[in-house]
Chain A
Amino acid sequence: MNRIDHLFKNKPHRVLSVYFTAGYPHLTDTVPVIKTLSDQGADMIEIGVPFSDPVADGPVIQHSDTVALKNGMTLKKLIGQLKGIRQTTGVPLLLMSYLNPVLRYGMEAFCRDIATQEIDGVIIPDLPPEEYIKEYKMLFTTHNLKNIFLVTPQTPGERIHFLDREGEGFLYVVSSRSTTGMKNAFSKEQTSYFRHLREMNLTNKLLAGFGISNRKTFDQACRYLNGAIVGSAYIKALEQEDDPVRGTRKFIHSIEGKNISG
């Protein structure tokens, strides 16, 4: 069974997925960050492939992309760094990349090489589901990779059902009309959108993303959905601590309220 499915089977509530940009703050931080996140209790990890023109991202992730690219991070290097990652962690790992770097690498080679490192899935925000189904779904299935679809507050009901039908792993619930970034709390409009999704009784598990930044927003999302994804807030936390291990530990604690271990 794919690790993502396995995770939701064992832990259907309060799943915490953490996004970070590979090669940030330093080129060689990728693996230590994954290890620390996993040790500190992150349930799933999204590894961002930095891109020169990340249109769906707000200022924090844009900045981390710029730094990572300056550090020399590339998709090729990242896949090299991930060699042997399964000796380090058993949590589901997703790669999040814009489409252009993946196409340059070659979609087939990409799927083959990340599957070899036992990556569980990908999120490609600018690859439309229709295009994916037509061009790449077979390839992903062959490699036991999940491609995660997004739903947004603007997605029409009919399309939500389509995405749920075709979706794999989970549905990424974009919390608000915005690029990635941080919010202190969700509005009534957002929580009723979460509730509405829950009441649709979809097949896929639902994780909220975009705007989850603290315990309050995490709790708000978890009240209605299966968990949430934190990105910008974690990258901010890494920025503010010299030691990524300490920064990560403090951060996970602040979101989940877990006891600090180790």
Chain B
Amino acid sequence: MNTTSLKVPQEGYYGEFGGAYIPEMLYPNTRELQERYLTILESAGFRKELSSLLKDYAGRPTPLYHAARLSEYYHTNIYLKREDLTHTGAHKINNALGQILLARKLGKKRIIAETGAGQHGVATATVCARMGMQCTVYMGALDVVRQHPNVERMKLLGAEVVPVEQGNRTLKDAVNEALRDWISHPGETYYLIGSVVGPHPYPDLVARLQSVISEELMWQMKEKTGHAEPDTIIACVGGGSNAAGIFYHYLDKPAVRLIAVEAGGKGVDTGETAATIALGLTGILHGSKTYVIQDEDGQITEPYSVSAGLDYPGIGPLLSHLFREKRVEFYTANDEEALRAARFLARHEGIIPALESAHALALLDKMTFPPDRHIVINLSGRGDKDLETILNRDEK
């Protein structure tokens, strides 16, 4: 296994996955990003400003919390990486802050974004307000309904929220509309994408910005246990950004078991699912070659999950590569399993997780870990936005 190639794309490719499969209209935009993102990201000025914003504005480092009652119940040592405690309530802010600084460096004036759960939309609206930039967020019309609190937050923050009526009216359709907007407004507009998806260099850009999670985890684990390396790290996967972020600095440490949990929806075999690795075939979606849930004619299958942030028929090319290289194991958790895990965490630890993150927690019911192990779960976001969904499900 070539460990450097695991996280660093070569000419935009992670093994066979990645690339920039975009129409010619987007060539100048992506080219500009490809040529400049690394220089900007690695410049001293950018790093200084970003780390100060991450600390004082977003509230980093996020705690690594030893979940005592969860550990007792599952007879092992469980730690939660508390991304839910960041400003705006999810890991999405790490990426949004980095990209808004990049956009400003590129001289862009107008920001567009897609959102599923609304967390990336809120994070983008937040950083746009902070930088005084104009913000338009595309959101599937179904998600506008099921994640309504986040829609109100975005509006309060001054963003324009555009409901998307195409397709299943969820995340995939929102990305389509954001790409169409970008085609129609090249030059002045920056597309602030919310996960490790899209054409090169977005997957690498977003993975680097989210890698702050594992950077912190290394010293926090060392502080708490004496070892920088936990035995296992578990994260949920929609596009894959919180997983990429918490795996990043451990990718070349083979002793650390890395587990990704996809949304099974109503069940992987029901046709109502978002389990891309479980069902997908190599294809092209949103500018990158990766696993995609599709039919035999190459039409993209409309996905389903109770969790808007995981309701996506693709996955970032980095994650496809990590699956192919057998560096990351993939499992699924269904709607009901995630809902149960969410309620369980609320009752036992006093933490209401996002339904996305609850998919990672649900793995604890499916897998046993020896008592002396250290398991880290990425608690990617908080569940305030999901109260209505959880309560409605309770009644059934």
Contact = CB atoms under 8 A, between A and B. Distances in A.
Interface of A: 51-53, 55-56, 58, 62, 69, 74-76, 98-105, 125-129, 131, 149-152, 154-156, 159, 174, 177-179
Interface residues of B, number: 35
Given A177-B183, A177-B184, A125 B24 contact: yes
A100 B284 contact: yes
Given A55-B176, A100-B298, A154-B187, A177 B285 contact: no
Interface of B: 19-25, 27-28, 166-167, 172, 176, 179-180, 183-187, 281-287, 292, 294, 296-300, 302
B183 A155 contact: no
B298 A75 contact: yes
Given A154-B25, A177-B25, A177-B186, 4 more contacts: A101-B297, A103-B284, A128-B20, A128-B21
Contacts, number: 102
Nearest to B182: A55
A104 B285 contact: no
B52 to A, nearest CB: 35
A53 B176 contact: yes
A178 B184 contact: yes
A151 B24 CA distance: 7
Given A69-B299, A100-B284, A101-B298, A55 B24 contact: no
A99 B284 contact: yes
B183 A178 contact: yes
A155 B27 CA distance: 8
Contact of B21 (A53, A76, A127, A150): A127
A69 B297 CA distance: 11
Contacts of B292: 100
Nearest to B184: A178
Contacts of A104: 281, 283, 294, 296-298
B317 to A, nearest CB: 15
B299 A156 contact: no
Contacts of B166: 62
A101 B283 CA distance: 9
Give the one of B21, B172, B176, B185 with max A CB within 10 A.
B21
B297 A154 contact: no
Given A100-B283, A100-B292, A154-B186, A74 B297 contact: yes
